[in-house]
Amino acid sequence: MVRAGQALAALGLWLASLGAANAAEPVRLRVADSFPKGHYLVTLLLDPWMEQVKQRTNGAVAFDYYPAQQLGKATDMLKLTQTGVVDIGYVAPGYASDKMPVSEVAMLPGAFDNACQGTLAYWKLARQGIIADQDYAGNKIRLLMVVVLPQYRILTVKAPIHEVADVSGLKLRSTGGAQDLTLRAIGAVPVRMAAPDAYESLSRGTMDGLLFPLESVVAYGTDKLVKYSTDGIGFGSFVVAYSISDAAWTKLTPDVQKAMVDAAEELVPAGCKAVEKSEADTKTKLEAVGVKFEALQPEAKAKFGGLMKGVAKSWADGLDGRGKHGGDALKQFDELVATIPAK
């Protein structure tokens, strides 16, 4: 009888220890994006954020990371995040412009001078503003972290861009939406595609060039193809954002939610500064391998600027016509950018 009691007690202790071990198991979250392994944005933003969240939660959260479109195309990340195929997805509004049109306010030409102006203005409006209400709450997702890239350049294979006439009829890679408007305004033909597909199209000659930030030129291997880049003028930008579905967010404990928010609050301002510096460093590296940066003459720069001047209004009017408050978004974004130092 005593032995039976001892056995039962031992069994109880074993079951209790098993329950405690199970309780200590971390919450595992699937993180997915389209970036190739070692991409600079992952190194500068995503990796530090995941590490900080793990540290802040004392290991209560673990991440399973799937880069390079392993779980789905960049253009499908919104849907994959909404449906729970991934828990945290690289939901780039530019790849889902029909569902997240207001976010494109940060992608308009001339919207800001440096990456931190664009990033911090978007960061505010996408968490507690018009972008949060329409693009995020409307899609039942929540922004976790973001960086708005430095102003895009036109990079070409066969000939440099010296003036507006040089762009006329060129087929240039675009993410769609606001970038399409920009390219059409200057006389180019936008070819909509995600960044991972750019190398193949450019190498086959189905495009004449790219609308790209410099870091992406290297990250996707197109530095082996392009020969020329514009310099001294921006042609818009792109919002790189990681988001979580509302359904996945509500399953997390308040402590985990706070850790994610606090980590992002620290890393987003630092990340945009690092991205800006990386852009300058990459320009030097590209020059060293023979890419020629063509600074536009003042007259040509003024002509490009004049053609792009109406893009923001056309974009805003188009959204207003759909009841999406583009004019309000443009006004609020511009006001926020004006409060952030250019350097």
DSSP string, 244-279: EEHHHHHTS-HHHHHHHHHHHHHHHHHHHHHHHHHH
Report the topology of domain 153-237+281-338: D-Maltodextrin-Binding Protein; domain 2 (3.40.190)
132 three-state secondary structure: helix
CA angle 329, 171, 309 (to 5 degrees): 35
pLDDT of residue 343: 74
User: What is the pLDDT at residue 23?
Assistant: 53
- What DSSP assignment string belongs to 296-315? PPHHHHHHHHHHHTTHHHHH
Cα atoms in the Cβ-side hemisphere of radius 13 Å centred on 272: 31
CATH superfamily of 26-103+115-148+239-278: Bacterial extracellular solute-binding protein, family 7 (3.40.190.170)
- The residue among 144, 92, 118, 120 whose CA lies nearest residue 263 is 144
pLDDT at 11: 44
Phi then psi dihedrals of residue 34, to 5 deg: -110, 0
Low-confidence ranges of the chain (pLDDT < 50): 1-2, 4, 6-22
Task: Look up the pTM and report it.
Answer: 0.92
Tens digit of each residue's pLDDT (9 = 90 or more) over 74-96: 999 999 999 999 999 999 999 99
The confidence score (pLDDT) of residue 342 equals 85
pLDDT value at position 202? 97
Q: Show contacts of 328-335: CB within 8 Å, 24+ apart.
A: 328/130, 329/102, 329/105, 329/125, 329/130, 329/131, 330/105, 330/108, 332/125, 332/129, 332/130, 333/105, 333/106, 333/111, 333/121, 333/122, 333/125, 334/111
Mean pLDDT, the chain, as a whole number?
94
Measured N-to-C along each axis, helices 254-288 and 47-56 cross at an angle, to the nearest 10 degrees, of 150
Where in the chain are all domains bearing CATH 3.40.190.170? Answer: 26-103+115-148+239-278, 153-237+281-338
User: pLDDT tens digits, residue range 231-284?
Assistant: 999 999 999 999 999 999 999 999 999 999 999 999 999 999 999 999 999 999
Alpha carbons 148 and 339: distance in angstroms, whole number: 17
Single-letter code of the amino acid located at 291: V
Residue with tokens 């609308």: 211
**What span, in angstroms and rounded, lies between the C-alpha atoms of 157 and 225?**
6
* Percentage of the residues of the chain whose pLDDT score is greater than 90: 92
